[in-house]
Amino acid sequence: MSANERRGNEAMLHYGLQPGQTLTGRYRIMAPLGSGGMSRVFLAEDLKLKGKKWAVKETYIGDDPSAGESGQEAALRRHMLLKEAETMSRLSHPNLPDIVDYVPANAHGFLYLVMDYIEGETLLQRFERLGRRMSEGQAAEIAQQLCGLLDYLHSLRPEPIIHRDLKPSNLMLDADGRVRLIDFGTARSFKAEQAADTVLLGTVGFAAPEQFDGRQSDPHTDLYGLGALLYFLLSGGAYYNPQSPYREAEAAIPYGIAPIVLRLLRASPDGRFADAREAGAALAGWLAAQQPQRLAAQAGAQPQPGAAWTPPLVVAVGALYPGAGATFAALALARQLHDLGVPHAVIEPPAPQAELSALLFADKNAPSAYRCYNAAGQGGRPDERPWADGHTLWLPAEEPAPGAEEAQLDAGGWLKLFHAVRRPVCIVDVGAQWDHPAVRELLETATDVVYAVDPFAHKLELPATRRRLRELEAWLAPGRRLHCFAVKALKSPQTEAWLRLLPQRPACLLPAVDLAALTEAGWQGRLPHDTPPVRDALREAMLPWLRRWLPDEVIPAQRERNRLGPATKLLRLFQFNK
C-alpha cells in the first residue's frame, strides 16, 4: 500500500462515512461492501424510496503534505479521481451499474457516487468459489458480454473510453449471470493525436505491453486485457507471460478456445482482433459451435419429416501441398466417427482427379447401378440408392471420361448437397484442389478446415505452401476453425523438431502405416483404415481431438473404453509417435 493510500485510509476512518450516518439526508449507510485504493463502497438504504438499496462509492481526493506527494502529483491524482466519477456518471450500458446521484467533494476531500446495488459476487470471488476453475463456456459467455460493453465504450464520441484494467476483482456477477464492470479508476479517453499515455496504469498480469513501454493505449489495449482475463480464468489462475513460447501458452488453456484467447494476447496491437465487435463475433461463433443441439442428431436416428434441421458441420480436409495425405486423413476421420456412432457423409468434389470411388472399390461395394451425384442427369442430387456403410454415407464424384468436359453443377447445387444428405457432419475430401471452383465455393460454407502435412519438412518452405497457409489464415473468421493433422508420423529423433516447424500445434498425429499393410489391404479390396491394428492406432491418435471437437453427449464414456485397443497393437504394422 502506498503512502497516499495509507493517508487516504486514515482520513476515511476519521472523516469518512460510517454505518448509521446519512448522506445528503437521503442515503443511510448500512454496512461496508468493500474497499480498495482510495475508495470504499457501502450498502445504503434510500430513505425516500422505501426498501430501495444502493451502493455508495466514497472516494478520497484530498491530499496531505506529510504523504510526500508533490503538488503536481496530488493535482494529477485528484484529476484522475474526478475524471473517474465524471466518466462513470455519464455512461449507460446494461453491463455497467447505473449512477443515480453524484455528491461533489466535501471539505474533508471526499466525493460520492450513488449507484445500483448489485446482489452478487465479484468474478474473482466466483472464480475462487469454483476452486479456481472455470469452464470454457462460462468464461466465453462472460467475455462475450464484455465485448458488447467494450464496443460501447470504444464507440463513444468524440473520444472513446479505454478502460485499461479488466480484471476479476473489477467485475461483478449478478444472480442472472450478467457481468457489471464496476471500477473506472484507470479509464482514459483516447486521443488520436497523442503518442503516449499521460500516466502508465494497469494491473500487472492483465495490462497490455503498450501500457508499460511508452505507447498510447487504444481500443486494442482492452482486447489484450480481455485475453489476459480469459487466460487467467481458463488456466486455473495463471497470469499470461508475453515472453512464454506460443506452444507453452497454448498448452495452458483448453484447446478449442485457445486460438481466440492467444489472438487477443498478441504483443502487437494490430495482430489482435480489429475491434471488440469482431472479438465478440468470434466468441459467439465458438459458443454456437459448442451447443449440443447442433449435433444432437448424431446420437440417434435421422430427423423425422418436417422436423427442424440444423445446418451440418462441414469439414474440408485438404493437403497443405500435394501428397501430404489429405485423403488418408479424411477417411481416418470418417472411420472414427463411424465407430463412435456419429452419422456423417464423406463427399468428394466434382473434380477431374476424383479417386474416392476407386479407393472404396465401388465395383465391389457400391449398390447395384449406383450413380454418383455429379453423373449426367443427377443434377447434384444423391442417388436414391444410398451407398451407406454403417454410420457413413459415401458420396464419391464421377471422374469425367477421357476427352469429355468436366460435369458442372448448377449454381448452388454443390452446397445444397450437404443439406440434402441430412447428416450432421459432412467431410469433404478436397485433396490438393483448393483452387477448384467447387472447393472455393465450399470454403464459404465450411465450419472447419483440416489441412494435412507430412514429415517432408522442406515442403513447408515452398512458395505455394506459404501462399496456401496465408489463404487459410485469411479464411479464419468467427464460427470457423482451422486444424492441422500431422500425417505419416514416425517414431524418430527428428519428430519433435518437425512438429516445431509446423504452422500450429497438430490436432493429432496420424501414424505412418507400413507399406506392406497398405498393399495387403488393397489386395483384399478394403481400406487400410479398416484393418484392426490400423483402426485401433488411429483411434488412439484421434480420440483426444474428437473429445474436444464434439460435444460430450456424442462420445459415451463406456463406448470409448470398449473401443480403445491395447497399445501393443500399435507396434504390429507401423511406427507411431504420440
Q: State the binding site.
A: 57
Instruction: Tell me the Ramachandran region of residue 377: left when phi exceeds 0, alpha when psi lies from -120 to 50, beta otherwise.
Output: left
Q: How far apart are CA 205 and CA 108, in angstroms?
A: 35
Q: How far apart are CA 262 and CA 267, in angstroms?
A: 10
Q: How far apart are CA 104 and CA 111, in angstroms?
A: 5
For residue 340, the 8-state DSSP code is T
Residues 6+ apart with CB under 8 A from 257: 136, 139, 140, 230, 234, 286
Residue in 166, 285, 296, 175 with CA at minimum distance from that of residue 219: 166
Helices (H), 252-342: 258-264, 276-290, 326-339
Residues 6+ apart with CB under 8 A from 404: none
Instruction: Provide φ and ψ at 344, rounded to 5°.
Output: -160, 165
Instruction: Tell me the Ramachandran region of residue 311: left when phi exceeds 0, alpha when psi lies from -120 to 50, beta otherwise.
Output: beta
- Give me the residues paired with residue 173 across strands: 121, 179
Three-state DSSP state, 573: helix
For residue 11, give the amino acid letter. A
Binding region for ATP: 57
Q: Report the chain's C-alpha Rg in angstroms.
A: 30
Sign of the Cα torsion 515, 520, 524, 526 reads: negative
What angle separates helix 532-549 from helix 326-339, to the nearest 10 degrees? 80
Q: How far apart are CA 331 and CA 542, in angstroms?
A: 12
Instruction: Tell me the Ramachandran region of residue 487: left when phi exceeds 0, alpha when psi lies from -120 to 50, beta otherwise.
Output: beta
The answer to whether the beta carbons of residues 172 and 122 sit under 8 Å apart is yes
Three-state DSSP state, 459: helix
Sign of the Cα torsion 528, 529, 530, 534 reads: positive
Sign of the Cα torsion 219, 220, 224, 229 reads: positive
Q: How far apart are CA 464 and CA 320, in angstroms?
A: 9
